[in-house]
Amino acid sequence: MLDTLMLSRIQFAANISFHILFPTITIALCWFLVFFKVRFDMTGNPVWMRAYRFWVKIFALSFALGVVSGITMSFQFGTNWPGFMEKVGNIAGPLLGYEVLTAFFLEATFLGIMLFGIKRVPPKVHTLACLIVALGTTLSAFWILSLNSWLQTPTGFEMRDGVAFPTDWFAIIFNPSFPYRLAHMLLASGLTASFLIIGISCYRLLKGDDKQAPKLTLKVALIVAAVLAPLQAFVGDLHGLNTLEHQPQKIAAMEGVWHTEKGAPLLLFAIPDEEQRTNHFEIGIPNLASLILTHEMEGEIKGLNEFIGEHPPVKPVFFGFRIMVGLGLLMIAASWFGLYQLKRRNKLPPWLMRGFVLLTFSGWLATLAGWYVTEIGRQPYLVSGVLKVSDAATQIAPGNVGFSLILYLSVYVILLAAYLHTVFLMARRAVEIEEFEPNQQPVKSSLTHGENAYV
């Protein structure tokens, strides 16, 4: 039977996995909405407004689930991790408070105007409200990523009687891994929203929706994905170099390196064996891991054996990293090939659109895989070098945690199924909605190159 510590870890993983799905969409989707709205204001073309009206509904649905699931996250600190706030509450508390004061209030105040004020306030005021909500979602990510990064690379504090006290808030907020994690997360959000728009737009087209709006949003999202996907690979490389410097044991687990070695191979596949401290069925490219991580063919990578008792479980980090990278490479290939098809044929073939529908939520999978690499890779510490997970967990009976875990999982399965059903239902119903009001006509000169053109 699982003990209280493991049940608490599973419960926190379930809560944060469910929660992160929705901010990952809304952070970037809100910027897409700002773009659609600004383009409508500039051109007066109702196709942009139709695109805005469809996607603002999905934004509202995702935002609501993100807020509700985020509330349970704060409960976790009290119910399952009392040692966390006792030890580092002087730092974690203010950072969470700054998010509420500067970001959440900003979003909540202007969200009402964004969702319900389009016919009640002047167009410029409504566009400004959209922009402020977008800034709020990004600012929220700023504070959460600052706290999460501090847990990975804590700086700017001192310990007094076993409790962390801040000594330099600038060093705390802008800790060594923060810039890389923030950039990595914002790009991940951009890719998640892009592939969501691509997938749903393709779904509408496959269902016979021949209107201009899904073609327009498909092309916009494809261009954004084609730019962000390789940029994410570049930032990921920088993030890896930072992790090698500050968390070498995590890099060793990601690469499956057991012994400190020079010219380490890049393992495409292996089955790590933690008991025998070796890998089985290795398929690797000689020297490539050292080249990527140190930019030298014979660069040295510290092995896991240098950190016995202080390194994370290897298998989930090793495989999670490969799932994330594999999905990232797939996103690059798919977005570039999609753009090539649009340029060459001015539309996508049905088989490719069906492929993009399958990739609708690929951003979720990549984000979750990367998040597990980050969080499991910090084990056995909750705050690197400061507080171990086992020292922060509650001591209540396992049955109590197990009961709440079952309730959480049950609710999340229902909510997730309802969310996915609603998104595709809205897409199918959009097929039946007329694109323009009786008094509206598209501005053809600024949008189309032909009758059925993809803008």
Pairing of strands 163-166, 381-383: unpaired
Gap between the terminal Cα atoms of the chain:
58
Mean pLDDT of 279-300: 90
pLDDT the model gives residue 102: 81
pTM for the full model?
0.92
C-alpha dihedral (64, 68, 74, 77), degrees to nearest 10: -130
Asked if the model's pLDDT at residue 106 lies above 70, the reply is yes
Side-chain half-sphere exposure of 188, counting CA atoms within 13 A: 27
Question: What are the C-alpha distances in Å from 38 to residues 32, 35, 327?
Answer: 10, 5, 32
Q: How far apart are CA 137 and CA 147, in angstroms?
A: 16
Phi-psi region of 361 (alpha: psi -120 to 50; beta: other; left: phi over 0): alpha
Asked if the model's pLDDT at residue 455 lies above 60, the reply is no
- C-beta separation of 263 from 285 below 8 A: no
Q: How far apart are CA 103 and CA 189, in angstroms?
A: 17
Contacts of 37 (CB under 8 A, 6+ apart): 48, 52, 126, 127, 130
What would the pLDDT profile of 236-260 be if each residue is shown by its tens digit? 999 999 999 999 999 999 999 999 9
Element at 271 (helix H, strand E):
strand 266-273
Q: How far apart are CA 36 and CA 193, in angstroms?
A: 14
What would the pLDDT profile of 127-145 be if each residue is shown by its tens digit? 999 999 999 999 999 999 9
- C-beta separation of 371 from 16 below 8 A: yes
Q: How far apart are CA 111 and CA 62, in angstroms?
A: 13
State phi, psi for 108 to the nearest 5 degrees: -65, -35
What would the pLDDT profile of 115-131 be if each residue is shown by its tens digit? 998 888 999 999 999 99
Confidence of residue 8 (pLDDT cuts 50, 70, 90): very high
pLDDT the model gives residue 295: 85
Nearest to 302 by CA among 383, 384, 245, 382: 245
Q: How far apart are CA 15 and CA 247, in angstroms?
A: 25
Confidence of residue 391 (pLDDT cuts 50, 70, 90): very high
Asked if the model's pLDDT at residue 11 lies above 60, the reply is yes
For the chain, give the percent of residues with pLDDT over 70: 95
Q: How far apart are CA 254 and CA 249, in angstroms?
A: 9
Mean pLDDT of 371-400: 92
pLDDT the model gives residue 109: 85
Question: Could you state, in order of their start, the residue ranges of all structural domains in the chain?
Answer: 4-260+302-432
Q: How far apart are CA 198 and CA 214, in angstroms?
A: 9
State phi, psi for 175 to the nearest 5 degrees: -65, 165
pLDDT the model gives residue 435: 63
Asked if the model's pLDDT at residue 74 lies above 80, the reply is no
Confidence of residue 215 (pLDDT cuts 50, 70, 90): very high
pLDDT the model gives residue 198: 97
Confidence of residue 452 (pLDDT cuts 50, 70, 90): very low
Mean pLDDT across the chain, nearest whole number? 91
Q: In 3-state terms, what secondary structure has residue 206?
A: helix
pLDDT the model gives residue 450: 45
Side-chain half-sphere exposure of 246, counting CA atoms within 13 A: 23
pLDDT the model gives residue 446: 45
Phi-psi region of 358 (alpha: psi -120 to 50; beta: other; left: phi over 0): alpha
The neighbouring-strand residues paired with 387 are 383
Q: How far apart are CA 323 and CA 316, in angstroms?
A: 10
Asked if the model's pLDDT at residue 453 lies above 60, the reply is no
Nearest to 182 by CA among 147, 216, 210: 147
Q: How far apart are CA 95 and CA 145, in angstroms?
A: 10
The neighbouring-strand residues paired with 300 are 262
Mean pLDDT of 295-300: 88
pLDDT the model gives residue 444: 52
Confidence of residue 437 (pLDDT cuts 50, 70, 90): low
- Asked which of 105-109, 159-163, 276-280, 391-395 is least confident by mean pLDDT, the reply is 105-109
Provide the b/e sequence for 299-312 (b: ≥16 CB within 10 Å): bebbbbeeeeeebb
pLDDT the model gives residue 53: 93
Asked if the model's pLDDT at residue 442 lies above 60, the reply is no
